[in-house]
């Protein structure tokens, strides 16, 4: 587990870019953090770096949006899904099996449901005196935690951690 500080949303986008370089078909990316923490900012940049050309909008109200990048990609938001059976309807397991890369906001609810391997990124606001203007402009700091879990990432974990370590001071 790596934990470090993102100085602003540009830094958040740089993290997405750094991780996108290592992602392949059938990967599961879990995004966690409270409302407004930066999950969609991160996801938008991740998808763009994965080759999605169209504009990425928040899937909060539609639950799933499908994109085509260098692989098929599903951007999912399960904030409003409480019942695990409702998650079944989204067929995330099948999509992963079919080679889709799946990014899930509020994905902590899905941990363990789709196999043992996932990349989890957690954003936390830092209690500083960042003003509302700075928040809105993306100029606030976040603690971020990156966890690379399961056999699916065995061959990639060291390189991902090394790439992060080149840019951020990691705890
Ligand atoms: N370091 C940062 N990283 C990401 N977003 C930030 C950062 N600092 C401020 N922000 C702001 O926080 C908000 C994050 O919104 P969003 O990504 O939609 O949150 P979530 O999807 O987690 O609910 C945006 O308004 C963004 O400008
Ligand atoms: Mg969001």
Query: How much is the pLDDT for 104?
Result: 97
- CA 70 to CA 25: how far, in whole Å? 9
Range of the domain at 150: 2-166
Distances (CA, A) of 34 to 39, 97, 153, 166: 9, 29, 26, 28
Q: Which of 17, 41, 65, 128 to mutate to test the pocket of ligand 1 (most atoms within 8 A of CB)?
A: 41
Query: How much is the pLDDT for 87?
Result: 87
Total structural domains in the chain? 1
* 136 in any annotated domain: yes
Q: What is the mean pLDDT of residues 75-84?
A: 90
* 95 in any annotated domain: yes
CATH number at residue 142: 3.40.50.300
37-71 per-position pLDDT tens digit:
999 999 999 999 999 999 999 988 779 999 999 99
Q: Is the pLDDT of residue 160 over 80?
A: yes
Distance 9 CA to ligand 1 centre (A): 7
* 171 in any annotated domain: no
Distance 69 CA to ligand 1 centre (A): 23
pTM for this one?
Answer: 0.96
Identify the helix (H) or strand (E) that includes residue 95: helix 92-97
8-43 per-position pLDDT tens digit:
999 999 999 999 999 999 999 999 999 999 999 999
Torsion of CA 30, 105, 55, 13, to 10 degrees: -60
**39-49 and 9-20 are packed helices; what angle lies between their axes, rounded to 10 degrees?**
40
The percentage of the chain sitting over the pLDDT mark of 70, rounded to a whole number, equals 100
Query: Residues for the chain: how many in total?
Result: 171
Quickly count: other Cβ atoms within 10 Å of residue 168's Cβ: 20
């Amino acid at each position: 587990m790596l934990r470090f500080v993102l100085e602003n949303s540009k830094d958040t986008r740089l993290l997405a870019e750094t991780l996108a370089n290592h992602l392949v078909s059938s990967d599961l990316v879990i995004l966690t953090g409270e409302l407004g923490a930066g999950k969609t900012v991160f996801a938008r940049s991740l998808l763009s770096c994965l080759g999605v050309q169209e504009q990425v909008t928040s899937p909060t109200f539609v639950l799933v949006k499908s994109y085509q990048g260098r692989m098929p990609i599903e951007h999912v938001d399960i904030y409003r899904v409480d019942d695990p059976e409702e998650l079944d309807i989204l067929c995330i397991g099948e999509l992963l099996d079919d080679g889709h890369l799946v990014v899930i906001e509020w994905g902590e609810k899905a941990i363990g449901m789709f196999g043992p391997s996932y990349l989890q990124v957690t954003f936390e606001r830092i209690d500083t005196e960042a003003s509302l203007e700075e928040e809105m402009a993306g100029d606030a700091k976040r603690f971020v935690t990156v966890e690379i879990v399961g056999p699916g990432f065995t061959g990639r974990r060291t390189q991902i951690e090394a790439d992060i370590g080149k840019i951020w001071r990691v705890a």
